[in-house]
Structure 1
Amino acid sequence: MKRNEVENCLLCNSPIDVPVTWKTLLTNEFPRTICLECEEKFEICKTSNEEVTSLYKYNEQMKDYLHRYKFMHDLLLAKVFRYQLHYHLKKTKELIVPIPMHAEKRKERTFAHVDELLNEAVIPYTHLLEKMTTATQASKSREERLNTPQIFQLEQGVIVQQKDILLVDDIYTTGTTINHAKQLLLDAGAKSVKAFTLIRG
């Protein structure tokens, strides 16, 4: 990996001043992509349970990040949390399964945002699910989300019997998306299904 991959903060464009140390020279540590000031605006999430782990709270800084990454199609921003994701997922023994986008939405956005976060973090993953609807949870009220019928199906030929699975998504709000995916996989014979998200809303 290049040490000077990014010279200016991807969020505020101010210069990134990172001193060269023996650690950065001798390890494959991911180079910094945002400045310390921007990094400090993200709030660590302290609310988690055995079923769902989330790294950050959905605050104003994160809202702006998500908007730019997902809806303004700023693919470079997939690099911002790669160290944190790599650190938390690198020793995972479960099969990592990203929550998928509908094919039409994928074509519209030009990239799968969860896949790209994992790619930048150098975390291997496997697709098992297909999304059956183009409707997004963000466009629905809380009540509508909770009453949404099943939105996923298994990809053709997928076998999940006795597998331990870790679902990965960008944000956890009502839990509807994760619960649909979890139920489908458990019904198909998965041994266990847990979830990991970058953000908790």
Structure 2
Amino acid sequence: MNKTETHCLLCAQPLQSVPSWKILLTKQFPPCICEKCASRFEHSPTTTALYQYNDAMKDYLHHYKFLQDVALAKVFRQELHRQFKHEKSPIIPIPMHPLKQKERTFSHMEELLKAAKIPYTQLLEKTTTETQSSKNREERLQTAPIFQLLPGVSTEYKEYVLFDDIQTTGTTLRHATEILLQAGAKNVRSFTLING
């Protein structure tokens, strides 16, 4: 059973919504942010991302990832569930380096999928603690490989879907795709929460 939030997770204003039969019967998640906060996020015109990067998304990412507010994983759960609920190919969230995950206390990509009740698998591990956000465009494009296959895993499926929080130059997704293709995957698609 989903916990019903009484206050918006972003602005702390009381939520007006009352749990309805529609939410229960259609298995929708109860709202966890108010309509005003939801309206600040701009939907992406692409089919490979849910949202565009804007000031509201910048604030969200700062609080979720860097201030470690894991409750914010629920903010986009309805949209992510709708996107992935019929997906047949295994979904692979882009992993964090183990040291970064220990520092942050949770994997932000995995928590987004857990909140949306979407199954995922992990085949990759990050080999560097460097973040792409600390590099300029040129440096990102020249980055050495940043992932490797987890020991003992194999690509058993023909197609995989990589899931990341934001795509700017596409370097992270390109590196992860190359590793999976080299390991025998026939096709790798990608989907992001945000188009940067």
TM category (shorter chain) comes to over 0.9
Gaps of at least 5 residues in structure 2 are none
Alignment correspondent of 1:57: 52
What is the CA distance between 1:94 and its match in structure 2? 0.9
CA RMSD of aligned residues (A): 1.2
Residues 114-144 of structure 1: CA deviation (Å, up to 9, x unaligned):
0000000000000000100000000001100
Alpha-carbon contact 1:161-1:188 (below 8 Å) kept = no
Q: Is the 8 A contact 1:95 1:163 kept in 2?
A: no
1:18-54 CA deviation, whole Å, 9 max, x = no partner?
1444312434210100000100110000034xxxx10
2:160–2:188 CA contact under 8 A, matched in 1:
yes
Question: Percentage identity across aligned positions?
Answer: 57
Residue matched to 1:13: 12
AA matched with 1:103: P
Equivalence for 1:172:
167
TM-score normalised according to structure 1 size? 0.94
In the alignment of these two chains, the number of paired residues is 196
- For structure 1, the 5+ residue unaligned runs are none
Secondary structure of the corresponding residue to residue 9 of structure 1: coil
Q: Does 1:150 align with 2:106?
A: no
- Aligned with 1:70: secondary structure? helix
Structure-2-length-normalised TM-score: 0.96
Q: For 1:129 and 1:29, how far apart are their aligned partners in 2?
A: 31
Instruction: Name which of 124, 130, 149 aligns with 1:129.
Output: 124
The 3-state SS of whatever aligns with 2:7 is: coil
The alpha carbon displacement at 1:162 in A equals: 4.7
Contact 1:161 1:191 in 2 (8 A): no
Per the TM alignment, residue 161 of structure 1 is displaced from its structure 2 partner at its CA by 5.0
Contact persistence 2:19–2:30 (CA under 8 A)? no
Partner in structure 2 of residue 138 of structure 1: 133
Runs of 4+ in 1 over 6 A off after TM superposition: none
